[in-house]
Amino acid sequence: MNTGSVTTLPRLESAGLDGWMVRLFDSIEETNLPWITALLQRCESAFGTAVVDLVPSYTTLLVVFDPVQLSPLEAQQKITSLLTDLTPEGSSGTSQIHELPTFYHASVGPDLERVAEHTGLSVAEVIACHSQKTYRVFALGFAPGFAFMGLTAPQLECPRLDTPRKKVPVGSVAIAARQTAAYPTATPGGWNLLGRTSARLFDRKREGFSLLNVGDQVRFVPASREAFERSGGDITPMEACQ
Span 165-194, pLDDT tens digits: 999 999 999 999 999 999 999 999 999 999
List the strands of the sheet with 60-65, edge to edge: 11-14, 19-23, 60-65, 51-56
Q: Is the pLDDT of residue 7 over 70?
A: no
- Identify the CA nearest to 142 among candidates 195, 201, 102, 85: 201
The CA distances from residue 241 to 54, 129, 154, 197, in Å, are 36, 27, 31, 15
User: 118, exposed or middle or buried, with CB in 10 Å at 0-12, 13-18, 19+?
Assistant: middle
Q: Is the pLDDT of residue 146 over 50?
A: yes
Distance from C-alpha of 212 to C-alpha of 134, rounded to nearest angstrom:
14
Beta bridge partners of 85: none
Read off the pLDDT of residues 205-216 as tens digits, 9 standing for 90 and up. Answer: 887 789 999 889
> What was the pLDDT predicted at 144?
84
For the question of whether the overall pTM of this predicted structure is more than 0.85, the answer is no
Angle between helices 112-119 and 123-131 (to 10 degrees): 90
> What was the pLDDT predicted at 240?
57
> What was the pLDDT predicted at 204?
84
- pLDDT above 70 coverage of the chain, percent: 92
Domains and CATH numbers, the chain: 11-82 (3.30.1360.40), 97-241 (2.40.100.10)
Backbone angles phi, psi at 198, to 5 degrees: -90, -5
Length of the chain as a residue count = 242
4 confidence band (pLDDT: 50, 70, 90) = very low
Beta bridge partners of 180: 149, 175
Distance from C-alpha of 218 to C-alpha of 213, rounded to nearest angstrom:
10
Contact in structure between 134 and 100 (CB atoms under 8 Å): no
Pick the residue with more confidence: 144 or 152? 152
The CA distances from residue 35 to 25, 40, 188, 212, 217, in Å, are 10, 9, 33, 20, 17
Q: Is the pLDDT of residue 68 over 60?
A: yes
